Structure 1
Amino acid sequence: LLNEQVGIVNFEPYLETFLSMYSSARLMFGALPLVPPLVAHLHRNWKEASGKDLLPVLTAKLSDLVQQLQQCYQLTTSGKFTEATERLQRVVRLVPLLQVESKQELSEAQQLLAICKEYLLGLQMETARKGNYKKKEKKTGPMLFGLA
């Protein structure tokens, strides 16, 4: 479904996310001693539906992703580019898994995705620039005032 709707081909980066969402949507509890624990699956529409119409609980929320973006801003300003890049990639991976209720939430999710993509591109460029600077510095020694 994600392949058809969003065009995702490589699901390997999603493995951790899928496992986390699956484990968050299950509940295990012990009923009696010496009996294996019972498993219950949590559903977001348990009041209205039953059987095959039940939908699993989604752990990704738009407000949480916006907070994670704010944390990425802080990481970027503190110079932790690799950590900010990893977190932004996680946010980008979670956006297609959101459930939106209105067109406003849909536009907010699209804006979030656009902002994350721009920040990712900028962080990758800055990381590459720093890597090239370090390589050049090793070859020629430290540069004074940007003059080589």
Structure 2
Amino acid sequence: MTHERQPPFNDAAEREWALQEQAARADRLGLSPHGDAKLQSYRVVARALRQPLDEELPADFAAEVAAQVHRTADAQLELWLSVALLGLLGAMLLGVVVTYSQLWLAFARTLTMASGLSNPWLLALLAGLALPASLGKLSPRKSG
């Protein structure tokens, strides 16, 4: 039996919402101001939201919005193509690793035996030092 999870009931948010609605209704009906300071501040906000804008929209507002939507659509296409390219490059990298892994392992074994690095704990230490350094984690941080 499956149940959809309900968001937890938040009593404070419910009281806040009711207070905002009460202030908007009182201001809309023109009732005399009374109540706590929070209710009065919400009445001020409700009154301000009902006022018309001081400025008119520009004459080319619709054209500007359409151009912005067009730019956004182009950006979405570029984002999708970038993700597809990144996936393709990841698949190619996986193919290279699978193809040449035996050769790399043989080279690594030869290198470690030739230089006396056959102790696995020494190799783990070197890997532990090399990986953060290659990621820039050991570089000195500038303060300020």
Instruction: Give the structure-1-normalised TM-score.
Output: 0.28
Which has the larger share of strand? Answer: 1
Task: Tell which structure's C-alpha radius of gyration is larger.
Answer: 2
Which has the larger share of helix? Answer: 2
